[in-house]
């Protein structure tokens, strides 16, 4: 019996944490890999307003910035343009300095509102 992937959608670590909580509530207990993932996310994914930040960055309509890259930005939350450049180096995408500044400003304004 072969498994068939019906669809793929990138999500950030905060969304994974919420999904695991739902699975744990439904199944009462997580399987081994899910438990390990939950342990890792407990120490890494602490920001509660990830969805708001994701939407804020999406609304900037940055050309060539894909959903997968926005999720990675939300995961890492770079607070400087230099840090954002480092994250985007892993992708074949070119974003202007001005647009990178907009993304960093959106992150910093969201963090300070906490």
Task: Give residues with Cβ within 8 angstroms of 69, minimum separation 6.
Answer: 88, 91, 93
pLDDT tens digits, one per residue of 24-82:
899 988 899 998 888 888 766 566 678 888 999 999 999 999 999 999 998 888 999 99
Cα(72)–Cα(54) distance, rounded to whole angstroms? 10
Cα(75)–Cα(79) distance, rounded to whole angstroms? 12
Cα(52)–Cα(67) distance, rounded to whole angstroms? 14
Quick check: pTM over 0.85? no
Structure tokens at 37: 């993932």
Question: Which pLDDT does position 113 carry in this prediction?
Answer: 67
Q: What is the CA radius of gyration of the chain?
A: 16
């Amino acid at each position: 019996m072969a498994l068939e992937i019906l669809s793929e959608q990138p999500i950030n670590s905060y969304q994974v944490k919420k999904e695991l909580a739902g699975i744990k509530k439904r199944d009462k207990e997580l399987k081994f890999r899910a438990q390990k993932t939950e342990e890792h996310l407990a120490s890494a994914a602490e920001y509660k307003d990830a969805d708001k930040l994701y939407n804020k960055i999406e609304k900037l309509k940055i050309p060539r910035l894909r959903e997968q890259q926005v999720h990675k930005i939300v995961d890492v939350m770079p607070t400087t343009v230099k840090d954002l450049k480092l994250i985007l180096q892993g992708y074949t995408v070119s974003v202007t300095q001005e647009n990178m500044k907009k993304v960093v400003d959106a992150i910093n304004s969201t963090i300070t509102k906490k």
